[in-house]
């Protein structure tokens, strides 16, 4: 199996790698736009608290159903520690979650980038893998 016949759906342009170069402006534009969208509200409504969404959701439930809704089950962690999770701890856990994810993605991309660099052609890589599969 050569890389040419691997996927008939990939059009000629993509295969020749021509598209790759053209994508740099797109990548930069997307990153800038993403950052702008994420930060825009901060400057739009200055002084807002940006609280978590859970509170807003439960307030809405109260409003819609009329009267206060009493959740019939408390989060396990809150039961265990006897109270709400301190916001500093919540930040820690969120950071751990982000860290795990970023770590895995960075490791994989590192591996992929190195593989591309040290394998002069993708074809060799495919042929190399074939017998072992």
Partner 1 sequence: MFFSRIEKVVLGLTVFVAAFFVLPPTAEAMHIMEGYLPIGYCLAWGAVALPFVVIGVIRLRKTIQENRRALILLAMSGAFIFVISSLKIPSVTGSCSHMTGTGLSTILFGVTSTSVLGVIVLVFQAILLAHGGLTTLGANTFSMAIAGPLVTLLLFKAGKALKLNKLVNVFVAVSLGDLFTYCVTAFQLALAHPSETGGVLASLVKFLLVFAPTQIPLTIVEGFLTVLIVIGMESFAKQELAASSYGKVI
Cβ neighbours of 61 (radius 10 Å): 11
Separation between Cα atoms, residue 123 and residue 133, nearest integer Å:
16
Minimum distance from CB of 84 to partner 1 (Å)?
A: 8
Minimum distance from CB of 131 to partner 1 (Å)?
A: 14
Minimum distance from CB of 121 to partner 1 (Å)?
A: 12
Q: Is the separation of the CB atoms in 96 and 89 below 8 Å? A: no
Cβ proximity to partner 1: between 73 and 131 the closer is 73
Separation between Cα atoms, residue 5 and residue 72, nearest integer Å:
58
Minimum distance from CB of 28 to partner 1 (Å)?
A: 10
Cβ proximity to partner 1: between 51 and 131 the closer is 51
Cβ proximity to partner 1: between 36 and 120 the closer is 36
Cβ proximity to partner 1: between 12 and 26 the closer is 26
Separation between Cα atoms, residue 95 and residue 4, nearest integer Å:
42
């Amino acid at each position: 199996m050569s890389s040419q016949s691997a996927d008939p759906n990939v059009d000629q342009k993509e295969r020749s790698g021509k598209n790759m170069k053209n994508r740099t402006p797109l990548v930069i534009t997307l990153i800038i736009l993403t950052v702008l969208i994420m930060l825009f509200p901060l400057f739009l409504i200055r002084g807002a608290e940006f609280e978590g969404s859970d509170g807003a959701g439960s307030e809405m439930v109260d409003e819609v159903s009329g009267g206060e809704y009493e959740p019939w089950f408390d989060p396990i962690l809150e039961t265990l520690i006897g109270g709400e999770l301190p916001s500093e701890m919540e930040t820690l856990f969120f950071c751990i979650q982000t860290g795990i994810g970023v770590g895995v993605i960075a490791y994989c991309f590192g591996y992929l980038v190195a593989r591309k660099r040290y394998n002069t052609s993708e074809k060799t890589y495919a042929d190399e893998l074939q017998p072992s599969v």
